[in-house]
Structure 1
Amino acid sequence: MTVEHPRRDWRDTLREATDLALLGFALCLAALPLLTVAPAVATASAALHDRSVTGGWPDVRTTVVRFGRALPGGLAVSAVGLLTAAALAADLLALATGRVPGGSPALAGTAVVVAALLGYAGLVAVAVGRTGGRGWRAAAREVARGCPQRPGTWAAAAGVCCLAGLLAVLVTPVAVPILAGYALAAVHAVDARGPALAAEPVDAPAIRSEPS
């Protein structure tokens, strides 16, 4: 006997869209000091993971506790991420304005590297969300191992992040937080729809043949 699930209507879609917009505003508010960008993203990612697993959002107390626990390790991640983003942006700007030799091939190559790094960063944020907003090093290693195994998922995540970055420049500033919530949810959806990671190989113990 099959169980019929209730059909979703426009009110469910509107409620989910509103929830994602509120999540984006909370994320951007928590990320205002800049060095709290990574803890804010990790906490929002953990909330999205809860939503996908349990069907409901975590309560405020759980979210605040997660944010506090994500701060110590997340501050260093934020600093590294901001410095890397600034260096890549300066490189792209210098190539685009012709202040650095290389022309269009160097600009295109740098843009591909930036897109790949954005996709990688998005998948790391998803992996951190699966562990309650902590464990950046383990998540970075897991995604670094998984990206070559799932190139389609990596490319799709890069596309989502690049599109979100482009739209953030084009839309009005008040819409940027809404875009942040939608973009993070889109990366979660891309990761969920991608193929599962292959298990890490385990060295089997050597079998010694008994003398006959």
Structure 2
Amino acid sequence: MDSRADRRRDWRDTVSDAADLALLGILTVLAAAPVLTAGAAVGTASAAVHDWLTTGSWPPARRTLSRFGRALLPGVPAVLIGLAAAGLLVADLAALATGRVPGGTVALVLTIVVVTALLGYAAAIVVEVGRTGGTGWRSAVIRAARGCLDHPANCAALAGTSTVAVLVGALVTPVAVPILAGYALAALHAVARRRPVARVELS
């Protein structure tokens, strides 16, 4: 049961939530700054958002730091794979857009569709990691893949949310990007709660 829906909320709650999510985004970006810690940072932030939406309150700082510490090593492979995939996709898009490789507009559009779908899949993985306390990337990959294959509309909803977040991030001033990160993460979890990606047992 979502305890956040069990009580009346006013404008002060909205302002408090906005401030909390902004702080979450800033802390996540700072924790991810060394790059190799990005997996742990995103997983821990995702777990915090999951707790917040489930219980109505943020996890204690001690639990969050413990989660971050446990997630450091498991998150490194996720970061490396993510960076490699992103680099290949960006290079492919750049080559198609500048005409350096054949395919033209059709190939460019198809590549954009693939990139969007992969964004949705990546978002599903992040949500699944959050549901299991910020770790378990390997099992999250499997659960997210199964969920997206069984329910394509779920993945499409996450893909749309991720795409909007990326576009907004490209348009706003760089100093606002960390703030946007917290809101984007909350939006992904909100979409996933309306459209469950996979049924999992919390660990």
TM-score bin, normalised by smaller chain? over 0.9
Q: Which amino acid aligns with 1:53?
A: T
Distance 1:36 1:195, change over 3 A: closer
| d(CA) in 1 for partners of 2:121, 2:28 | 20
1:141-160 paired onto structure 2 within 5 Å: 141-160=142-161
2:40 corresponds to which residue? 39
2:139 corresponds to which residue? 138
Q: Which amino acid aligns with 1:157?
A: L
1:40-189 paired onto structure 2 within 5 Å: 40-189=41-190
| d(CA) in 2 for partners of 1:195, 1:83 | 28
| d(CA) in 1 for partners of 2:23, 2:151 | 31
| d(CA) in 2 for partners of 1:168, 1:35 | 22
| d(CA) in 2 for partners of 1:195, 1:122 | 12
Ranges of 4+ aligned residues in structure 1 off by more than 3 Å: 195-199
TM-score normalised according to structure 2 size: 0.92
Deviation (angstroms), 1:7: 2.0
Deviation (angstroms), 1:88: 0.4
| d(CA) in 1 for partners of 2:137, 2:199 | 20
TM-score normalised according to structure 1 size: 0.89
Alpha-carbon deviations, 1:55-79, whole Å to 9, x = none?
1101111111111100111011101
| d(CA) in 1 for partners of 2:69, 2:147 | 29
Query: Where do 5+ consecutive residues of structure 2 fail to align?
Result: none
Deviation (angstroms), 1:6: 3.7
| d(CA) in 2 for partners of 1:61, 1:197 | 29
Q: Is the 8 A contact 2:23 2:179 kept in 1?
A: yes
Alignment: residue pair count: 196
- Is the partner of 2:150 in helix, strand or coil? coil
2:33 matches 1:13: no
Q: Is the 8 A contact 2:154 2:195 kept in 1?
A: yes
Q: Which amino acid aligns with 1:93?
A: A
Give me the identity figure in percent.
Answer: 59
Query: Where do 5+ consecutive residues of structure 1 fail to align?
Result: 200-212
2:30 matches 1:25: no
Q: Is the 8 A contact 1:50 1:57 kept in 2?
A: yes
Distance 1:78 1:149, change over 3 A: same
Q: Which amino acid aligns with 1:20?
A: L
Q: Which amino acid aligns with 2:16?
A: R
2:191 matches 1:190: yes
Alignment RMSD: 1.6
Query: Greater share of helix residues, 1 or 2?
Result: 2
Point out the more displaced range, 144-153 or 168-177.
144-153
Point out the more displaced range, 40-49 or 159-168.
159-168
Q: Which amino acid aligns with 2:36?
A: L
